[in-house]
Structure 1
Amino acid sequence: MPTTLKAKFDTRREAEMTVERLAQEMQVERTDIFITTDGANNSAGDERAGADTAGDNPTPASRADAALEGKIIVSVDIADAGRASDIKAAFAEFDASEVAER
């Protein structure tokens, strides 16, 4: 029976790193991975990360226009429920919250 695992991330970077871990190292098909926001608005998460933060010189300062409109949700459809613990571990590695299975 198919299972869907879902988790919320504070930053787009954490969500993207999770997706890459799932696709590249765990061979989860990208067509089985879905990314959305926790709400109707476009969002880069709840916190600044990646390109929205300041870097070393000579890069510019932090951006002030990041769409911080809510958490990023990653969901994964799996046919083999035995893979659920590995996927949950990938979620945990990148600080997921509100991990759910249905």
Structure 2
Amino acid sequence: MTASLTATFDTRREAEMAVERLVQQFDLDRDAIRIIAEGEDNSVGEDTAGADTEAGAPSPDDRSDAPLNGAIRVTVDLADDTAAAEVRDAFAEFDASDVDRA
């Protein structure tokens, strides 16, 4: 049985951290994971995080150009249900919302 789990993240950083947890800790194939902006425009999420936030000295000037154009969606294709709990745990650890099974 093939299934997909999809979740929404407020920041690109949260989405990427969830993906790294799935790949590094749970050995999921990176090719089975997709990260996309929820809308049609480029987006780093709905909130700034990571490199899009204010940096400490001696970093370059603060950035104000982060494209905050909507949430980030992560979809994980699963060959069977054995990894579904691990995917849900990783999504929850990094504050995912709207976790759906497709």
CA offsets, 1:51-76, max 9 Å, x none? 11112222234311001000000000
Residues 13-92 of structure 1 mapped to structure 2, 5 A cutoff: 13-92=13-92
Give the secondary-structure state (helix, strand or coil) at the position aligned to 1:31: helix
Query: How far is the alpha carbon of 1:83 from its aligned partner?
Result: 1.4
Compute the TM-score of the two structures, normalised by the length of structure 2: 0.95
Matched positions, count: 102
Identity of aligned residues (%): 51
CA offsets, 1:31-90, max 9 Å, x none? 100011111111000000111111222223431100100000000000121211111000
Compute the TM-score of the two structures, normalised by the length of structure 1: 0.95
The unaligned stretches of length 5 or more in structure 1 are: none
Letter in 2 for 1:51: A
The list of structure 1 runs, each at least 4 consecutive aligned residues, that deviate by more than 4 angstroms after superposition, is none
The unaligned stretches of length 5 or more in structure 2 are: none
